[in-house]
Structure 1
Amino acid sequence: MRTLDDLDVSGKVVLVRVDFNVPQDQDGRVTDDARIRGALPTLAELREKGAAKLVLMAHLGRPKGERDPALSLKPIAARLGELLELDVPVAESLDPSALPDGEVVLLENVRYEAGETKDDPALAAQYAALADVYVNDAFGAAHRAHASTHGVATLLPSAAGRLLQREVETLNGILAAPQKPLVAIVGGAKVTDKIGVIDAFLDTADAILIGGAMCFPFFKAQGHAVGASLCEEDGVAVARRALDDAAAKGCRLLLPTDLVLGESFSADTTVTPLDGVDVPDGQMGLDVGPRTAEGYAAEIVAAGTVFWNGPMGAFELEPFAAGTKAVAEAVAACEGTTVVGGGDSAAALAQFGLESRVTHLSTGGGASLELIEGKTLPGVEVLS
């Protein structure tokens, strides 16, 4: 993969794809600028190396080619300007002659363009006409073959920015050369969404810790009652196969041994601890229990390398946050390499004030999972 070390930017206009798909409040103010801050090292290096101008591209939401004012990047440009301490105008047009003056310019939401998600060659050519070279630093969008992540990279000298480079090298390193023991923590709602990740770690991990609602297809495959718990029916056969594969490969695939139950998905529901995993009718499992949390934490703290993606329960509901909090605290306390694969895991770290205490916090949930699964990311492959 080509990086900034391979690209001459002195005196040139650099087109930079960034991932500024960030949350905003009802007034349009950015509520979490982590992804914007994540792009700053690349932007700073390009300016230090003498780039004449930076033209940034980003998407926000899914406007599907329509210019929805609620998905404008203007509030994001304002926040970026605060961080860079300079004015960042937003370009409303892809006409090179209409590009605003300024050291750093942000194009309006690329998904306003109907051809963006279709990797339209004509749109890619319009992007390419704006600059001399191209840098992709948007790891969170690198698993999509879009005009701004793939097509334009075929038309200009191109390379990965530092964030994209770090993401790819770190995630590939987990599987290629991890410090042992390697512990993978996999949670969330659906085992079918994460089976590719589980399969990848079955060949390399010393232990895989399963949490969240995705544990219930495993329990059902083992003959346990799941009550009213969220249990993905399509995941039962998948879970049974994963259990068989783990046994054949000698990988310890660990499931919860106790649970915290509720009668409904609500913070106000009656909370019942369960010493075991057979869920009574009318009850649903909404968190792992304290014995499971303690056991998982011990595995994590002793690890040489940890990968975490997915919560242990409904951590957004206070009565069911303890399991995810215990895992987050253990990941933060681990002295080995700790990598968190974005999404809800990143949100949990932020909720518990632990986001600064991990080795690497990925900016791309979907992209990180696909990379771990061994899939080709179009936005990365085109830079090779």
Structure 2
Amino acid sequence: MEAAFAGVKVLDVSRLLPGPFCSMLLADFGAEVIKIEDPGGGDYIRWWSPFLGKNSGFHAVLNRNKKSLTLNLKHPEGKRIFKRLAETADVVLEGFRPGVMDRLGLGYEVLRALNPRLIYCAITGYGADGPRALRAGHDINYLALNGVLSYSGHQGNPTLSGVQVADLGGGALYAAFAIATALFARERLGEGQYIDLAMADGALTWHCLRWGKYLADGLVPTQGDDFLNHGFACYNLYATRDGRTMSLGALEPRFWQVFCATVGRPEWDTPRYFEPGPHQRDLQGEVAALFLTRDLCEWTELFAGADCCCEPVLNLDEVLADEQTRQRQMVVEMIHEAWGAYRQLGIAPKLSRTPGTIRGHAPELGEHTAGILAAMGIDAAAQAQLRAAKAI
């Protein structure tokens, strides 16, 4: 089948998590992603232990379906090669602080003059302008400053998510959406554009439900003040007898009714279950005491036939073995000639006409340098000179 992004060339100058996850999504759906890496060491994430072969396991997951070209963007010849690639590229993706690519002489205006159809996406922490534009940051900082952490968790302790909400949700996913949007717009308008994407901005929009509540009642959100953040008994996490955890999400009356009937506590099924107030703490205590009477496997078996949104909290090993995960092809068995067998994350969106595919492993550092340069007309002798000059 024809891939959705077949023929789209992406020059990815980003590192670590947000940019590489974004370009992985594009590569999964057919884009040719050329990962531009410094000859001295490449993407930093390659060297984070633990390792698969000579590279990090993080790299193996984030950089599948891509090519690796080592290019020194501080060297005149490296800049020249990058500009030549940009002349025929569709997308440039970078994740530096604002102004870095401009100082290298490779910013949007320079590249746009070479290729007016180019889409240039800059993923930054706080955006291209504003008082924090040049400030360093990570996922934890973006979530702290945009208020997400202020009402995450309970009992006065802000809680970090186990996944990077701002990096992935606020940055990578929005960037992929913005790039796809710009590609679509280019078909109508005939030219590319600049995308200024701040991870802090993107994660801020994840407030949407609490924002709506705040607009209506004017109350600043706090931990445990609402039905979605530990405030209600019907939507919470509960420890089991064997030290595991069950998740209960019986928000709607019909789900709560089934839950109460299943655990033999029909007296809990009153309209007050979905009303705020001190009684919620008492009800939470009663539900918590109930869950401590059985092991996780017993509760899982009990609720297997009950339609009430009560499920076990699985660890990653259990998720990989889960029948739903496997039937949805969210775990893909791979074999690498050097690493051996390993399991790759699957592709979440299931498109019927242009499905995504995993066509290749994450590349070794500079694995495709010779081939890409040869396709540009740079022969082996010239490549040897560039290598000696540390331009590639």
Q: Normalising to structure 2: TM-score of the pair? A: 0.30
Q: Whose radius of gyration is greater, 1 or 2?
A: 2
Higher RCO, 1 vs 2 (CA within 8 Å, ≥6 residues apart): 2
